[in-house]
């Protein structure tokens, strides 16, 4: 399991893209109206203009996991609550977002079941 993706919910995608381009010193690797992503030194930083509508309140670290469904159930049993249901986002990638009892966001993503 590794954490190498952070998604930022943004209200103004163009302004956020300009800011992250300046900060990271590189152009986006993904540049679409629904998502902008940057890859730097093995880390992925994403801008989601729909994130606030999905319940994201700030940056969300996403953990790459082998058994998304199993780990999701374990987190829910340990007190997490679902923020975003499991969904496929393309290329076989599935994601979900939960928050812990203190309100901290946790993202899970997997290309396996």
The Cα–Cα gap between 14 and 107 comes to 24
Tally of domains within the chain? 1
Residue 113 confidence (pLDDT): 55
Cα 69 vs. chain centroid, distance in angstroms? 16
Contacts of 68 (CB under 8 A, 6+ apart): 86, 94, 96, 108, 109, 110, 112, 113
Determine the length of the chain: 113
Contacts of 89 (CB under 8 A, 6+ apart): 95
- Mean pLDDT (10-residue bins), the chain, 113 residues: 93 97 97 97 96 93 95 97 94 94 95 69
Is-above-0.85 flag for pTM? yes
Structural domain of 84 = 2-110
**Phi and psi at residue 41, in whole multiples of 5°?**
50, 45
Using alpha carbons, select from 95, 8, 109, 94 the residue that is nearest to residue 57. 8
Contact 48, 9 (CB under 8 A): yes
Residue 112 confidence (pLDDT): 67
Residue 91 confidence (pLDDT): 87
Token pair, residue 49, equals 């203009």
Q: Domain containing 43 — which CATH number?
A: 3.10.180.10
Provide the 8-state DSSP code for 69: H
């Amino acid at each position: 399991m590794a954490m190498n993706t952070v998604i930022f919910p943004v209200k103004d995608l163009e302004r956020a893209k300009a800011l992250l381009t300046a900060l990271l010193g590189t152009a986006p690797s993904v540049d679409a109206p629904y998502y902008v992503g940057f890859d730097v030194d093995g880390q992925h930083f994403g801008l989601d203009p729909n994130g606030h509508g999905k319940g994201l309140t700030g940056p969300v670290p996403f953990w790459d996991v082998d058994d998304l469904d199993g780990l999701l159930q374990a987190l829910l049993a340990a007190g997490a609550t679902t923020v975003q249901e499991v969904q496929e986002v393309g290329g076989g990638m599935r994601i979900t977002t939960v928050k812990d009892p203190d309100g901290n966001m946790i993202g899970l993503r997997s290309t396996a079941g």
